[in-house]
Amino acid sequence: MKTLEEAKQAVIEDFSMYDEWLDKYEYLIDLGKNLEEYPEEQKTEDKLIKGCQSRVWLDSKVEDGRLFFKADSDAIITKGIISLLISVYSGREQKEIAEDDFGFIGEIGLKENLSPTRANGLVSMIERIKELAQESISQEPAEEVLTAEDAKELAPLYDNVIMAIKQVYDPEIPVNVYDLGLIYELVINKKHEVSIKMTFTAPTCPMADEVLAEVKKSVADVPGITGCEVELTFEPPWDQSMLSEEARIELGMD
């Protein structure tokens, strides 16, 4: 999937291919024709975007931390406009949508080349998309808070998980990934699910996928652990200051 900036730039480039706005309107109409079918029974009053002269229905759902849209309109140009918007924003993280300025709309000159009523409708569509993104953020469950008792109960699990991670070695350096300082974050929640954020000594590690999979499997196999997710990051970049004392001794650095 393209990044948000790449998706917006692609729209700008598509519009730049046409010199006349008549051709750009035809492009919008074609976009509308490609919209996913919107079931008639779901075209309810609460899904209508207020402020649009034509009727525009917009619905959303959250899946895996991303917001997906579906829409329809009873006017062909308006249908093309909402199709353009959701082609850029559907499938993005809620916060990314809520905080975006939709500035690419100004760059393609769409608002300025619509009738006043359609231009107002465009603004209403943008506002509703941002509202839905913000609403979905506010509906997310609060971050889990662990009590001192929880922490005491989880302490043995942390020890076992660390021991499991220490069974996984870097493919280029004969030291386990934990003592190398490649594990940036290790969290176990009340459900005994593990979240790990880790890095590598260099972004070009050819065995990165295999090592990530090995860490995930080793931790998931720890008795009492119900699941494990491993996220790769290179911020901040790894350096030798992150080595444990054991790793320094093993590498003959002390």
Q: Hey, which residues are catalytic here?
A: 52
Residues 6+ apart with CB under 8 A from 2: 10
Q: Burial level of 94, CB count in 10 A (0-12/13-18/19+)?
A: buried
Phi, psi of 193 (to 5 degrees): -90, 140
Asked if 207 and 197 count as a contact pair (C-beta separation under 8 A), the reply is: no
- Say how far residue 146 (Cα) sits from the centre of its chain: 26
User: In whole angstroms, what is the distance from residue 252 CA to residue 248 CA?
Assistant: 6
Q: Burial level of 241, CB count in 10 A (0-12/13-18/19+)?
A: exposed
- Helices 4-16 and 21-33 cross at an angle (nearest 10°) of 130
